[in-house]
Each structure stands twice: as structure tokens, then as C-alpha cells.
Chains A and B, each alone.
Chain A
Amino acid sequence: MLKGRNLLEPMDFTIEELKELFNLADQIIQNPELFRKACDGKILATLFYEPSTRTRFSFEAAMLRLGGQVIGFSEPNSSSVAKGESITDTIRTVACYADLAVIRHPKEGAPKVAAACTDMPVINAGDGGHQHPTQTLTDLLTIWKERGGFENLTIGLCGDLKFGRTVHSLIKALYRYKNVSFVLISPEELRIPDYVRKEILIKNKIPFEEVENMQEVLPKLDILYMTRVQRERFFNEEDYVRLKDRYILDGAKMKLAREDMMVLHPLPRVNEISVEVDDDPRALYFKQARYGMYIRMALIMSLLGTEPKEV
């Protein structure tokens, strides 16, 4: 039962609960008309302290397609945050008006602080370089729909694994499935944080390797998850410039990969995937973005405990 719960990190939901969400998302995909009034009378607050296109639009589109309403801000300077209001005070106020809140914040753990001061369900829509659980739901739904399940997979994660919050969340969600292994492709400076390596991979004896060369591992991957090196996470511009073009997936590299390898990317892309790859049937990142809206529709309904209504 997900009603009234928060989604702050991927492990907040069990594998069974995730399966329920995927089933609901699939029902919505099959028959969206049936869900047109599922959240009639409900209000979603979107509190975006950091820029976003996909995540904010997909949440707003999801709520509108469920018949609900949306309030919120897309940049903090247009709210009382600019006057120095704390996260706690903002959330307490928003909880007076909305039924559910989505929060994106540059500071890591901000959604946890928000959730601690209200009974209103809170969804983490990305907190700094930490976690991004609804992107993970999107990634998982894409794999589930396109591959049929999560077992026996070798997943390559490439690029900025240090600050790439989608990577941390995806590893946290996927390690729980049987016979999953990870190939972590990054320069030494952008390797996964200690807490992911120690607390998730080593502690649970999950097979993983850390490499710098993408070409040599491509042939063994079932999924290649590309990420952008994010300028906004660096305190030093020189480091960003040095690392940003380290990995570029192009047509030549795709020839090294298996015929059924899936290429995923949380988007936005800069130049880590060359546009020539877009037409390759293995490139699923735009389809992934569409799945993102459906899984968010399922998530909103589940946290609010709403059902499809007669239209």
C-alpha cells in the first residue's frame, strides 16, 4: 500500500510495490482514457529549486492527464525562497494547499528534510548529485517494458558516476534483482561515491567492475546507461572542461555492442551520445522520456490512493 507514503529514494519501495506501480503504469499506457479523472479535485505542488524540463513537465503533464491541478514554482527566485524562507517553512505552507508535493533541490537530502515536517506525501525529483528516484522508476519501467524483467542483466553505467544522481538511484534499485552485475565506466575522478560502492555493492556482494575504457566492455553489456557530465556539479570549471567529452557514444562504438543492447540516457544530452545514434533501434532514450510520464501518473495515483473514475 503506497497511499500516504513518500518517495525519497529508490529503496523506499519494495520490489513487489514497484511491480504494482509498473502494472498500473501499463494499464494507463493501454487505456489512458480510463484514468482521465482519477485525480479530479487533487492538487500537486511542484517545488523546483533547480531548473528542470523533463521532470517538471512530466510531473505536470501526469497530473493534468489524471484530471488534477498543479501549483508551484519552477525557479526559487519567484517565490518566498528568494526572501530566505527555509525548506521546512515552505513545505509546511504548501501542505496547507496541496495534496502531494514534488521537490527538486540542489542540496542533497533536502526532500528528506521536507518530508520530515509534513504528513503530505513528498516525492524527491532530484536532490543535488545524490538521488533521483522518479528517473529510476522511468528507467525501470523502460527496461521492464522493453526487456520484460530485471534478472540476469549486465548493466554498464557510463560518464559522471560521482555526481550522477540517476546512476546512484538506479544501482540502488537494480541490485535487489537476481543475477545483476554492473560495469562502471568513468574517469577516476568521477567514480561512484563511497557509500554506493561500500554500502550497496560490496556489502551485498554484487558483482561490479570499474573501468575507464568504454570500447572494451561494450560487447558484454545488456544495457548501456549513458550520463552527462554536469557542469552545475563542479566547483571548478577547469575540471569540467577536462572531463566533459571523455565519453562519446557514436555509430562506430555501437557496432561493438550487441544487437539487443539497450541504450538509455536520463536526458538532457549534450554531446555524450552522437545524434547519429538516435536512429539506431537500440537507442531508447526518447521512448524512456515518454515512459517517465506514465510511471509518474502511476506514482501520483498510488501515493494519493486514487482509483480510475467514470468519465
Chain B
Amino acid sequence: MVVIDSIKNGIVIDHITAGLGMKLLEYLDIDTSQNTVALIMNAVSNKYGRKDVVKIENVFDIDLAALGIIDPKATVNYIEDHVINEKIHLTIPERVVNIIKCNNPRCVTSIEAAAPQIFHLIDRENREYRCEYCDEIISMKGGYGNEIIHRQWFNR
């Protein structure tokens, strides 16, 4: 049994698909963090069998759209004074700006720094997104690689 109320203030990202917890921390550039961070891998889950859990102390403003792309099954719990203040079920966003970057070397975004990276959801089941500019299709299900733009949350 995993106890999730062990941080005083912060967020707990729960029900992360087992194995994706590290990916999620990587996206958050966790190695630059000064906050207390816990990653629990392969915890027992009544709902999914196994799950990963991430706890980050004293951080609240996480980009839910970005997390929804990485793992829409996950939930985000906002903890205040050891109590779950709010629980959010992530969803797959329809349109994302500056979260995924286009990996087509012929795309204009590879040379025009001012152009925002815009993607549209075209296939919910396969979590496929289409680039606004070049129409390149990127699947975010499972084996995504360098498409996620790292945010460096903890350097702000």
C-alpha cells in the first residue's frame, strides 16, 4: 500500500503507467530541482496492477496538458497541509502549443525560432498529433523520444 499524503505541500502524480515515471521526471528536468522529489516505481495498484508515483514538494504549477500527452491515465493530486485539496484526472489535449516539437527536418519550425510549435490531436486512441505547419504525424503513445520540449520547471 502506498501512502500518498506524506508530503506537506506539493503535488502527487499518481496512477502513472508503470515504467513512465522516469520519462515524466525527465520531461520535468528533475535533475535541476532543489525540491524534495520522490519516485516510486512499480507500486501495487488496485486499478492497473502496477503503477509509478511521483511526489514533488512545494511545486504546484505543472503543465497538465503536457502530462496528459505523456500519460493520460495519470492523476494529479494537489496537497496542502497533508490533505488532498484537489484531484485532477488528466485528459489528452486537443491542441498543444510549445509542448511537442516537430521532428521533421523539413519543417519550418526547424529554422524559424519565433514560430510556436503547434500540434493538433488527430487520433485519440493512438495519441497521434499533427504538426500545424508541415502535417507531420507524431504518435505520443509509448515510444516517444525527443519530441517533448523540456520545460525546466525548477529553474524558474
Which residues of A does B touch, CB under 8 Å?
86-88, 105-110, 112-113, 116, 127-130, 193-195, 198-199, 235
Contact = CB atoms under 8 A, between A and B. Distances in A.
Contacts of A112: 108, 132-133
A130 B134 contact: yes
Contact of B109 (A109, A116, A129): A109
Given A106-B106, A109-B134, A110-B108, 13 more contacts: A86-B112, A87-B112, A88-B115, A105-B108, A107-B106, A107-B108, A107-B111, A109-B109, A129-B106, A130-B106, A193-B135, A195-B135, A198-B137
Contacts of B122: 198-199
27 contacts: A86-B112, A86-B114, A87-B108, A88-B114, A105-B108, A107-B106, A107-B107, A107-B108, A107-B110, A108-B107, A108-B134, A108-B135, A109-B108, A109-B131, A109-B134, A110-B108, A110-B112, A112-B132, A112-B133, A113-B112, A113-B115, A130-B106, A130-B134, A130-B135, A193-B135, A194-B137, A199-B122
A128 B137 contact: no
Contacts of B104: 108
A112 B108 CA distance: 9
A48 B134 CA distance: 19
Given A107-B108, A109-B109, A128 B114 contact: no
Interface string B97-109: 0000000111111
Contacts of A86: 112-114
Interface string B109-149: 11111110000001100000011111111000000000000
Nearest to A195: B135
A112 B136 CA distance: 15
Prevailing SS type, chain A contact patch: mixed
A93 B112 CA distance: 16
A87 B115 CA distance: 10
Contact of B134 (A87, A128, A199): A128
Interface of B: 104-115, 122-123, 130-137
A109 B133 contact: yes
Contacts of B107: 107-109
A194 B113 CA distance: 26
A195 B137 contact: yes
Contacts of B110: 107
Contacts of A113: 108, 112, 115, 133
A60 B134 CA distance: 27
B108 A108 contact: yes
Contacts of B105: 235
Contacts of B112: 86-88, 107, 110, 113
Contacts of B130: 195, 199
A86 B134 CA distance: 18
Contacts of B115: 88, 109, 113, 116
Q: Lowest 7 A-B CB distances belong to which pairs?
A: A109-B133, A108-B134, A107-B108, A109-B108, A195-B135, A110-B108, A128-B106
| Max chain B Cβ within 10 angstroms of own Cβ: one of A107, A109, A193 | A109
Contacts of A235: 105
A182 to B, nearest CB: 18
B133 to A, nearest CB: 2
A171 to B, nearest CB: 12
Contacts of B137: 194-195, 198
Nearest to A203: B122
Nearest to B135: A195
Nearest to A107: B108
B114 A108 contact: no
Nearest to A87: B112
A107 to B, nearest CB: 4
A116 B112 CA distance: 13
A108 B106 contact: yes
A241 B68 CA distance: 44
B23 to A, nearest CB: 24
